[in-house]
Amino acid sequence: MGPYLSWIEDTATNRGVVGSNPIGPAFMRYNSKLAFDYRRIRKMQTHILSFLLSFFLFLTFCIQTAFSEDIKQTNEVKKENKTHSKTPEKTPEEKKLTFRARETDLWFKSSIPTEPTNEKFKKSFVETTLKGELYATPKKILDVTKEKADRGTPEGLLSSYFSASEEGDVNWIADNFLDAEKEKIKEVFSDKKNLKGSKKNTSKMKSKQIVGEAYYKDLLLLFVEQNYGKGNIITEAVACKKTDDGWKVTNSISDDKIFDIVFAALSAGEVLDSEAAKPTIIHKTIKIN
């Protein structure tokens, strides 16, 4: 067998001595190198895949952000265009109401003929136009105590006014009027008959609400609907004025002919809203032909 015999005999050490197996160590080193290179390649593949995944996620985020910004800007443009194209809603000062009433329903019947039974006069009517509006949603008038009365708003004033009337408190009633009219109001209600009648009338109301408003001179005219139940509803105009001490009721135009037409139109006539196609019948028991 020659020198190869020692290879067979020296298989335990296999240290590369003369005649030993030179293939074993080389093969093991080659396998180790292959294993190391494989692990390194797998590691690099992992890093590359991780990088590609991160890059893909970043790219997706950028695209989504860009699209969301475009969508947001598009929506804002649409919203802005819609806002610009929409006709601005008119304020009560820009709207107009026409009040129409029969002459026979006026308090000051200056044009009443000598023969009130005249058919032509019965069918005649008068009208006036003021800035104002009829509310889409009426404003309720709530009951309050004297301590919690707040005349900071027109509806707050009417809450105080009607609550004072129902309570029968003369001083509280007078406090709801302009200073120049307080003494006159106290004088009127110092008559127990007047005070009792006012208290009884107010206590019968099932509900009260403001259904509209109009502007005349420097005053605000509120349309107050008073519901007594069983279909008995009366609508009247109350003149108010803003002061340093809040809103106050005034009788300063009680003898004014324009106010007379407004009052008659609300209680027994009709109101024509410039925004509406048909006139509004505030008091539905009468219709002007």
Say which residue, 126 or 73, is predicted with more confidence.
126
Is residue 197 over pLDDT 90?
A: yes
Beta bridge partners of 216: 219
Q: How far is CA 97 from the centre of its chain?
A: 24
Question: What pTM was computed for the model?
Answer: 0.64
CA 150/CA 8 separation, integer angstroms? 118
Q: What is the pLDDT of residue 192?
A: 94
**Residue 212: DSSP 8-state:** E
Say which residue, 220 or 34, is predicted with more confidence.
220
Is residue 109 over pLDDT 70?
A: no
**Residue 141: DSSP 8-state:** -
Question: For 88-110, what is the mean pLDDT?
Answer: 78
Is residue 248 over pLDDT 90?
A: yes
Q: Residue 100 phi/psi, 5° resolution? A: -125, 135
Q: What is the pLDDT of residue 287?
A: 39
Question: Each residue of 22-65: pLDDT tens digit?
Answer: 555 544 554 555 555 556 666 676 767 776 777 667 667 667 76
Long-range contact list for 70-73, CB < 8 A, 24+ apart? none
Q: What is the pLDDT of residue 89?
A: 60
The token pair at 173 is 């009633």
Q: Describe the strand order of the beta sheet including 233-243 as a list of residue ranges.
A: 246-249, 233-243, 219-227, 207-216, 125-140, 96-102, 270-273
Q: What is the pLDDT of residue 243?
A: 97
pLDDT band at 160 (very low <50, low <70, confident <90, very high): very high
pLDDT band at 165 (very low <50, low <70, confident <90, very high): very high
Q: What is the pLDDT of residue 108?
A: 75
CA 100/CA 128 separation, integer angstroms? 7
pLDDT band at 228 (very low <50, low <70, confident <90, very high): very high
Is residue 17 over pLDDT 50?
A: no
| pLDDT > 70 fraction of the chain, expressed in percent and rounded | 61
Q: What is the pLDDT of residue 288?
A: 39
The token pair at 264 is 């008659």
Q: What is the pLDDT of residue 253?
A: 96
Beta bridge partners of 248: 241
Question: For 3-18, what is the mean pLDDT?
Answer: 46
Say which residue, 238 or 276, is predicted with more confidence.
238
The token pair at 179 is 């200073």
CA 264/CA 236 separation, integer angstroms? 8
The chain-wide mean pLDDT, for the chain, equals 78
Say which residue, 286 or 130, is predicted with more confidence.
130
